Amino acid sequence: MLKRSVRLELDAILNELKVNLANNYKDLAHDALKKLHATLESYYNSGMMKEKDYSKYKKIADDYSVKMADYHH
């Protein structure tokens, strides 16, 4: 089970990413995506996140990476 504080932080970053995409703030969306990847790695490497939860959020982050691959100015 993922700790509530970890889940809340990851969900907040995802929400930030979605809001920035919806408002066409590409730079901020890229920053949020980088933050999401870094936070995931940090929690997983520190043992605060199990493989199952990591895989779930990693897939979401990777899907956004693919979707945003051609987002440039």
Dihedral sign of CA atoms 38, 6, 48, 50 in order = negative
pLDDT tens, per residue, the chain with 73 residues: 789 999 999 999 999 999 999 999 999 999 999 999 999 999 999 999 999 999 999 999 999 999 998 876 5
pLDDT at residue number 17: 96
**CA distance linking residue 58 with residue 30, whole number of Å:** 16
- 35's CB contacts (< 8 A; 6+ apart) are 13, 16
- 33's CB contacts (< 8 A; 6+ apart) are 17, 61, 64, 65, 68
pLDDT at residue number 1: 73
Query: Structure pTM?
Result: 0.91
**CA distance linking residue 69 with residue 73, whole number of Å:** 12
Tokens of 15: 């929400």
